[in-house]
């Protein structure tokens, strides 16, 4: 069996940084809370729970005067305000690339209508859009352009600033921008491709592997948006794509010693999960 693991499979810089620092913070503090999943991977969250981090859903569940970790995807502006008000010490592990989006939005919000390309309800977008104020819109698909325009029309701004979720599909980006320009033809438009370099490179590599290998395994959390995009890209070029969180989801009967298998993993997938899949395949491949 031929097995090839993508060179960019697994933790990106922002995730690695968040997990390393959270582990350290957990070791130095008696009680530490984290709002939401620190990164979108259940195995990673489980391990951090074992180290003593208490995961909650809202800042309201964090007691006054305690310690809290802010996840790699960032938190809404209101959560920072609430933490300060209640004297909660914040360990802010927001990825510096996501922080850049927050700064950009704050810089542009007074003069521009802000359009954020990305998934509605995703933690990173909830965070970014909270800094944009009322005159903003998260555009999940081209079908939302009319609603977006209607909202823009109600403002008298005449200027539009477009940016994207850091894990947005970079191949889709140009197409959506083109359509937006056609629909907002009278507006002055500033476009900022804020897709993270790590995302773009990983998406390129999964495309290359999917063209080369008849079977592809994509490892990552089911709730991870960057993993979902890798699966989407892979399915375009490969007929047999297995989207899994752990090796337990693979069936031995679907592989044989003559197989050629490519492996890619999302930005929040730990090294151990990749290793387990490789070992599983090596056992079948002899
Ligand atoms: S994908 Fe990029 S922006 Fe997102 S956490 Fe990783 S390094 Fe940061």
pLDDT in tens, 2-33: 999 999 999 999 999 999 999 999 998 779 99
Q: What is the pTM of this model?
A: 0.86
CA 3/CA 196 separation, integer angstroms:
27
**Residue numbers in the chain where pLDDT is lower than 50:** none
Do 176 and 221 share a domain, yes or no? no
Domain residues for 60?
A: 13-94
Residues 53, 33: contact at Cβ < 8 Å?
yes
Q: How far apart are CA 278 and CA 276, in angstroms?
A: 5
Q: Mark whether 148 and 186 lie in a shared domain.
A: yes
Domain edge (last residue) among 48, 69, 94: 94
What is the per-residue pLDDT across 237-257, written as a single tens digit (0 to 9) for each? 999 999 999 999 999 999 999
- CATH number for position 76: 3.40.50.11270
Closest-lying ligand 1 atom to the alpha carbon of residue 197: 2
CB 196 near ligand 1, within 6 Å: yes
User: What is the residue-wise DSSP string for 146-166?
Assistant: HHHHHHHHTS---EEEEEE-T
Whether 95 is in the pocket of ligand 1, judged by its Cβ within 6 Å, is: yes
Read off the CATH number of the domain in which 112 is found.
3.40.1010.20
Q: Let me know whether 264 and 219 are in one domain.
A: yes
Out of 72, 94, 116, a domain closes at 94
Nearest one of 166, 198, 238 to 10, comparing CA atoms: 198
Q: What is the pLDDT of residue 170?
A: 83
Q: Which residues are catalytic?
A: 124
41 lines ligand 1 (CB under 6 A): no
End position of a domain, from candidates 68, 94, 120? 94
Contact 18 CB / ligand 1 (< 6 Å)? no
Name the residue of 11, 168, 196, 204 whose CB sits within 8 Å of the most ligand 1 atoms, as the mutation to test its pocket.
Answer: 196
Same domain, 108 and 123: yes
- 131, 88: one domain: no
14 lines ligand 1 (CB under 6 A): yes
**Do 102 and 184 share a domain, yes or no?**
yes
Q: What is the pLDDT of residue 3?
A: 97
CA of 160 to the centre of ligand 1 (A): 25
167 C-beta closer than 6 A to ligand 1? yes
Q: Pick the atom of ligand 1 nearest to 39's CA.
A: 5
Residue nearest to atom 5 of ligand 1 (CA): 14
Total domains present in the chain: 3
């Amino acid at each position: 069996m031929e097995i090839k693991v993508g060179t960019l499979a697994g933790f990106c810089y922002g995730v690695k940084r968040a997990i390393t620092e959270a582990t350290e913070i957990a070791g130095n503090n008696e009680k530490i809370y984290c709002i939401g999943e620190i990164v979108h991977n259940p195995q990673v969250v489980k391990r951090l729970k074992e180290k003593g981090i208490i995961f909650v859903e809202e800042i309201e569940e964090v007691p006054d005067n305690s310690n809290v970790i802010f996840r790699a995807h960032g938190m809404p502006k209101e959560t920072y305000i609430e933490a300060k008000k209640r004297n909660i010490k914040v360990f802010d592990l927001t990825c510096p690339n996501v922080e850049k989006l927050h700064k950009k939005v704050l810089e542009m919000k007074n003069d521009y209508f802000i359009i954020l390309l990305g998934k509605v309800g995703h933690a990173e977008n909830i965070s970014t859009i909270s800094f944009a104020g009322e005159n903003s819109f998260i555009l999940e698909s081209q079908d939302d352009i009319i609603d977006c325009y209607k909202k823009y029309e109600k403002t008298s701004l005449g200027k539009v600033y477009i940016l994207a979720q850091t894990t947005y599909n970079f191949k889709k980006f140009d197409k959506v921008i083109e359509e937006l320009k056609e629909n907002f033809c009278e507006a002055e438009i500033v476009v900022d491709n804020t897709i993270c370099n790590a995302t773009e490179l990983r998406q390129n590599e999964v495309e290359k592997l999917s063209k080369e290998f008849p079977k592809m395994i994509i490892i990552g959390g089911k709730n991870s948006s960057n993993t979902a995009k890798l699966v989407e890209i892979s399915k375009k070029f490969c007929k047999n794509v297995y989207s899994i969180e752990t090796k337990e989801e693979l069936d031995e009967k679907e592989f044989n010693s003559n197989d050629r298998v490519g492996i890619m993993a999302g930005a929040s997938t730990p090294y151990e999960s990749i290793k387990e899949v490789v070992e599983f395949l090596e056992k079948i491949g002899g």
